[in-house]
Structure 1
């Protein structure tokens, strides 16, 4: 009877560990789900539960075969969880144009596995504190960064929409793009329109690495999207000093500058 009580008590403790792993990892998954990420509530919950179960198996699943000649190392299972979860996280990270996406979601899955393993290993307080630190990192830290706004805003990378009217001289658009890049900005997209008899016609769309043979007095409008760490006024200043530039309109979500040169 006493042995039955002990077994039941151990099973209830193990169920509690699994339940705690499910709750903590589900909290992480819910935050990812609300951010519309690919790996959300279900993925993180399953990773946490699975990691906890593996740890419980490693700790308690072989008591019936143990004897003096058999030595077990439960830490091996934790090492395998760390390496195995890397395949799941690696499948979430992908590159889109010049941006890397999915890093935070992959790290969240990795952390869910660690929290689940901690629950399975019998470290509930450590698992709960780690969960709190996760929400501090993904919710409170970005809020604090945004609240500092004015001090660090100049160092944030900005997406800038630019419309430049220029004469086809001194290298044309190629020279214009080179000046923008030398000023510390990266050109993401370009569309060029040629002005003919006050009407527009498309001359080139997309990649403008090749020059179009036109008369030097032809006027073009270039629509550019650029990204950079420098300020809006710096870009306007660089472009306004080019002799063949007629007018400039530079726009971000925070400001708008326009003028004729």
Structure 2
């Protein structure tokens, strides 16, 4: 019986590692080791929840709830996933990775409960969905935020010209700050935070700004 339990944990760990490998290839916060340990640990918790108290079944005045540990684990994994979420340049990062940790926990629990096909099938479905949806459909891509530093000639109307050019391309301006270059009074430095639609890349945006005659240089990040 315990060999079967070990097999469940191995299968759960492998399923988690597959999901972690996909996340690692996209340079996300949680990779192979994190997903492997989450799936393995959750399979162990599920096995304990189902079978860890069988030696107490014959005790008098004893009531057992096999789902109790599993329910608490689902709540606890939420804290682990929350640690993957953070703000960067006024955009929330890590939501997909956090959801992946939560889904991996469910896969580990399913396999720990002996539902091999459900756990393995969910793993394949998660990997397929990530591969299919990531960057394949532009209308599904989330907006991205970034910072640009633009140096341009200190002439009237140049700032408005740059801002209008961005708005023409549906670029949302979150904030901006402009000041004269201390070393070159003829130049203005514009630091601007923008939100870019998912279908637009920063590589597509740079030529739009650089083609303005007043712009001297553009830096991103």
TM-score bracket for this pair, using the shorter chain length: 0.7 to 0.9
Once residues 259 and 36 of structure 1 are traced to their aligned partners in structure 2, the CA distance between those partners, rounded to angstroms, is 35
Gapped regions of structure 2 (runs ≥ 5): 215-221
Q: Contact (CA 8 Å) 2:89, 2:146: kept in 1 or not?
A: no
Once residues 180 and 143 of structure 1 are traced to their aligned partners in structure 2, the CA distance between those partners, rounded to angstroms, is 26
Q: 1:85 aligns with which of 77, 90, 96?
A: 77
Aligned with 1:45: secondary structure?
A: helix
Task: Say yes or no: does 1:186 pair with 2:183.
Answer: no
Aligned with 1:28: secondary structure?
A: helix
Q: 1:125 aligns with which of 91, 98, 117?
A: 117
Q: 1:52 aligns with which of 43, 48, 60?
A: 43
Aligned with 1:104: secondary structure?
A: helix
Bigger Cα Rg? 1
Q: TM-score, normalised by structure 2?
A: 0.74
Once residues 35 and 128 of structure 1 are traced to their aligned partners in structure 2, the CA distance between those partners, rounded to angstroms, is 22
Aligned with 1:100: secondary structure?
A: strand
**Change in 2 beyond 3 A, CA 1:41/1:61:** same
Q: 1:227 aligns with which of 188, 195, 202?
A: 195
Please provide the CA RMSD for this pair: 3.7
Once residues 230 and 24 of structure 1 are traced to their aligned partners in structure 2, the CA distance between those partners, rounded to angstroms, is 30
Aligned length: 206
The residue aligned with 1:38 is: 29
Aligned with 1:69: secondary structure?
A: coil
Task: Say yes or no: does 1:95 pair with 2:87.
Answer: yes
Q: TM-score, normalised by structure 1?
A: 0.64
Q: 2:155 aligns with which of 154, 159, 167?
A: 167
**Change in 2 beyond 3 A, CA 1:187/1:202:** farther
| Cα deviation, residue 158, structure 1 | 7.9
Which residues in structure 2 correspond to 1:1-261 (within 5 Å)? Answer: 10-67=1-58, 69-146=61-138, 152=139, 165=153, 167-168=155-156, 185-187=172-174, 190=177, 192-193=179-180, 201-202=183-184, 221-225=188-192, 226-229=194-197, 252-254=202-204, 256-257=207-208, 258-259=211-212
| Cα deviation, residue 90, structure 1 | 1.2
Aligned with 1:254: secondary structure?
A: helix
**Change in 2 beyond 3 A, CA 1:189/1:137:** farther
| Cα deviation, residue 145, structure 1 | 1.2
